[in-house]
Amino acid sequence: MNRTVYIEFLNKKPKDERIIALENYAKEHNVAIIEEEGLDFLKMLIQTKQAKKILEIGTAIAYSSINLALLSSDIYIDTIERDPLMIVEAKKNIAFFNLEDRIRLFEQDALELDVKRLSDDYDVLFIDAAKGQYRNFFEKYAPLVKSGGLIITDNLVFHDLLFKDYIKNRRTRSLIQRIKAFNEWLKGIDGYETYFFNIGDGIAVSIKGDENVRNSSKSHK
Ligand code: SAH
Ligand code: MG
């Protein structure tokens, strides 16, 4: 027994068999769904914030969106996925849980999607797609979040690859540089208060400030 195992044990709750089936599918097919601890953290944030409108970049098999939608019958999720295989699975799973009316799947590259098709008052944005594009996702989609809303970014340490001394693959090396650059950019940007957590694969929570308050406080200086 150690700290991690003990906390995991305390957190264990009976789980829907259909959710377990999604986890097994992800394991068998190497789909990078959110880790248990990260999901608990996300759920807790959504419940305390009483978030009702969520935007997700990176649906995969809809594991995270289904889990979040099941928190409450008045939660609505827009989620974006570009991989045709994942889209097939996500649709199947959303239908299996009868969540077609609360999870809207956008079958497109998030870098190309016309934001006019989305809302502009999300409570939470969850960024969980191609790690090298996080800054682009943030800049494109954070404006659709309400002031006081949250931008949550997953996989900040990229399976701990950030701390390896030697990475052979050049593309992986450059991806790691991009992730580091994003993390440090996120730490410094104006208009958001960001907290970094050693949870799951590393999660950041950025609270969007109120633009009016910010501008007026500046003008008083
Ligand atoms: N949020 C999911 C896991 C997502 S895995 C969960 O926790 O259950 C990341 C997904 O992002 C992959 O399915 C990948 O195809 C998708 N993705 C990566 N880049 C994308 C982009 N530019 N636009 C849309 N989807 C993207
Ligand atoms: Mg992830």
Amino acid at 30: N
Give the ligand at the shortest distance from the Cα of 130.
Answer: 1
Average pLDDT score over the chain? 94
Dihedral of CA atoms 191, 155, 72, 21 in degrees, nearest 10, equals 170
CA 220 to centroid of ligand 1, rounded, Å: 43
Q: Is 69 in the pocket of ligand 1 (CB under 6 A)?
A: no
Ligand 2: distance of its center to the CA of 79 in Å?
14
Q: Is 67 in the pocket of ligand 1 (CB under 6 A)?
A: no
Average pLDDT, stretch 175-188? 95
Q: What is the CA radius of gyration of the chain?
A: 18
Of the candidates 45, 47, 79, 84, the residue with the CA atom closest to the CA atom of residue 64: 79
Cα of 117 from ligand 2 centre, angstroms: 24
Going from the Cα of 173 to the center of ligand 2, the distance in angstroms, rounded, reads: 19
32-51: per-residue pLDDT in tens? Answer: 999 999 999 999 999 999 99
CATH of 3-219 among 1.10.4080.10, 3.40.50.1980, 3.40.50.150, 3.20.20.140: 3.40.50.150
- pLDDT at site 21: 98
Q: Are 56 and 126 in contact (CB under 8 A)?
A: yes
Q: Which of 43-47, 75-79, 106-110, 177-181 has the least mean pLDDT?
A: 177-181
Among residues 73, 195, 181, 76, the alpha carbon closest in space to that of 136 is found at 181
pLDDT value, residue 210:
87
At residue 219, the pLDDT reads: 45
> Has residue 151 got a pLDDT over 60?
yes
Does 221 score more than 80 pLDDT? no
φ/ψ (deg, to 5) at 191: 90, -5
pLDDT at 218: 47
pLDDT at 212 over 90: no
113: amino acid identity, one letter: L
Query: Residue 175 above 80 pLDDT?
Result: yes
Q: Residue 34 CA: which ligand 1 atom is closest?
A: 7
| Binding site membership of 127 for ligand 1 (Cβ less than 6 Å) | no
The answer, yes or no, to whether any atom of ligand 1 lies below 6 A from the CB of 82, is yes
Asked whether the predicted pLDDT for residue 5 surpasses 80, the reply is: yes
- CA atoms of 206 and 142, how far apart (whole Å): 10
- Rounded to whole angstroms, the Cα distance separating 109 from 58 reads 9
Can you count the helices (H) and strands (E) in the chain? 8, 7
Question: How much is the pTM?
Answer: 0.94
Domain ranges within the chain, ordered by starting residue: 3-219
Q: Is 38 in the pocket of ligand 1 (CB under 6 A)?
A: no
Q: Beta strand pairing status for 145-154 and 122-127?
A: parallel
- Protein residue whose Cα sits closest to atom 6 of ligand 1: 33
